[in-house]
Structure 1
């Protein structure tokens, strides 16, 4: 489902920045407000991971820097889904706080490594590299992104079965 929301100009000036992902923010707020069951929450994050992956793949040729951020967001949503499914303590802490922080992702990946093996850490590290070097430092080239795509794809593949 796609819903359009009109944002007042006074707020738009604060949210119209490349480092803010409105879609993930709105999803997290809706999940929190609606008090959705964990399975629905996992499915929502898995669906968003697949969507961001698809968008990132389409952007590589025309805007590799933005592609990096979409691919990172795909990995981030995949880690959220896996964390919610496997790591109750971290999931509870995030719910209580109302948002994810960077340290939550790194702690989650460290714990998920025990469940899924070492590859998940490497795949996350690749996504983090895309986020920092490729997006924030704006150093991404098409080749740079293409060399890292498979790791992000594998991470997102892990959550495809969680969509239902």
Structure 2
């Protein structure tokens, strides 16, 4: 999982360097999403993991629950969620805004 997270971050940077904001934002979001899943597994958040096993998939609600348990991840998740909603879905962010939020997300590479 660690390698996949790093791969998503690398791909996001490549898309960003090409000016492809939408794909970059989705990769930054995916890296963060998988990072939160990684945290849930490493920290053995059994309540959340049991819900995933029962439903056989991850809901966004569960990712928000992880962040509630790990408050220090709030800014990272907030940045990723904004990129996902405002850039990937709505395409209403500029390069400077994406770079600012991406810099917040990139710290996850030091936390895995």
* Superposition TM-score, scaled by structure 2 size: 0.91
**How far off its partner does 1:139 sit?**
1.4
Task: Give the aligned CA root-mean-square deviation in angstroms.
Answer: 1.2
Q: Residues 101-112 of structure 1 correspond to what in structure 2 (within 5 A)? A: 101-112=59-70
- Contact kept in structure 2, 1:83 and 1:112, CA below 8 Å: no
Query: Of the two, which has the highest radius of gyration?
Result: 1
Paired position in structure 2 for 1:129: 82
Structure 2 stretches lacking a partner, 5+ long: none
Q: 2: distance between equivalents of 1:76 and 1:156?
A: 13
> 1:90: Cα distance to partner?
0.6
Q: CA deviation at 1:145?
A: 1.1
The count of corresponding residues between Structure 1 and Structure 2 is 110
CA–CA separation in structure 2 for the residues paired with 1:84 and 1:140:
32
Say whether the 8 Å CA contact 1:78–1:156 is kept in structure 2: no
Question: Quick one: distance in 2 between partners of 1:55 and 1:64?
Answer: 12
1:49 maps to 2:5:
yes
User: Which one has more relative contact order, counting CA pairs under 8 Å at least 6 apart?
Assistant: 2
Question: Which residue in 2 is equivalent to 1:71?
Answer: 28
- TM score, norm. by length of structure 1: 0.63
Offset at residue 63 of structure 1 (A): 0.5
Counterpart secondary structure, 1:62: coil
8 Å Cα contact 1:68/1:145 also seen in 2: yes
Structure 1: gaps of 5 or more residues: 1-43, 160-164
Kindly provide the CA deviation profile for residues 31-60 of structure 1, in whole angstroms up to 9, marking residues without a partner as x: xxxxxxxxxxxxx2x221111111001001
Distance (whole Å) between structure 2 residues aligned to residue 150 and residue 62 of structure 1 = 16
Q: Does the 8 Å contact 1:65/1:139 carry over to 2? A: no
Structure 1 residue 141 displacement after superposition:
2.2
Question: Where has structure 1 moved over 3 Å in runs of 4 or more?
Answer: none
Contact 1:71/1:127, CA 8 A, preserved across alignment = yes
